[in-house]
Amino acid sequence: MATGFLYDPRYLEHDTGQGHPECPERLVVTLSYLEKLPWFEQLKRVAPRPAEFEWIQAVHSFRYIHHAQATCRQGSSLLDSADVDVCPKSFDIALLAAGGALELADQIMAGNITNGFALLRPPGHHAEQSEALGFCLFNNIAILAKYLQKKHGVEKILILDWDVHHGNGTQHMFYEDPSVLYISLHQFPFYPGTGSANETGSGRGQGYTLNCPMPAGAGDTDYEHAFMKKILPKIRGFKPDVVLISAGFDAHKEDPLAHICLSTEFYGWMSERMMEVAVQYASGRLISLLEGGYNLNILPLCIAKHLAVLSGN
The domain that holds 154 is classified in CATH as 3.40.800.20
**What is the pLDDT at residue 46?**
98
Which of these, 3, 257, 289, lies nearest to 160 by C-alpha position?
A: 289
**What is the pLDDT at residue 224?**
98
Rounded-to-10 torsion of CA 92, 94, 96, 97 = 170
Residues 6+ apart with CB under 8 A from 14: 24, 86, 87, 89, 90, 93, 94, 121, 122
Q: Whole-angstrom Cα distance, residue 209 to residue 151?
A: 24
Residues belonging to the chain: 313
Cis peptide before 189 (omega within 30 of 0): yes
Q: 196-221 burial by CB neighbour count: b if 16+ within 10 A, else e? A: eeebebeeebeebbbbbbbeeebebe
Q: Which of 126, 165, 186, 252 is catalytic?
A: 126
- Give backbone dihedrals phi and psi of 287, rounded to 5 degrees, phi first: -125, 130
Residue 24 exposed, middle or buried by CB count within 10 Å (0-12, 13-18, 19+): middle
Q: Whole-angstrom Cα distance, residue 31 to residue 9?
A: 10
Q: Count other C-beta atoms under 10 Å from residue 237's C-beta.
A: 9
Per-residue pLDDT of the chain (313 residues; tens, 9 = 90+): 799 999 999 999 999 999 999 999 999 999 999 999 999 999 999 999 999 999 999 999 999 999 999 999 999 999 999 999 999 999 999 999 999 999 999 999 999 999 999 999 999 999 999 999 999 999 999 999 999 999 999 999 999 999 999 999 999 999 999 999 999 999 999 999 999 999 999 999 999 999 999 999 999 999 999 999 999 999 999 999 999 999 999 999 999 999 999 999 999 999 999 999 999 999 999 999 999 999 999 999 999 999 999 999 9
Contact 301, 294 (CB under 8 A): no
Q: 3-state secondary structure string, 270-282? A: HHHHHHHHHHHHC
Residue 293 exposed, middle or buried by CB count within 10 Å (0-12, 13-18, 19+): buried
Full domain range(s) for residue 286: 3-310
Residue 225 is a catalytic residue: no
Q: Whole-angstrom Cα distance, residue 95 to residue 57?
A: 12
Quick check: pTM over 0.95?
A: yes
**What is the pLDDT at residue 1?**
72
Q: Whole-angstrom Cα distance, residue 286 to residue 288?
A: 7
Inter-axis angle of helices 90-109 and 62-73, to 10 degrees? 130
Number of domains in the chain: 1
Helix, strand, or coil here: 97?
helix
Contact 195, 224 (CB under 8 A): no
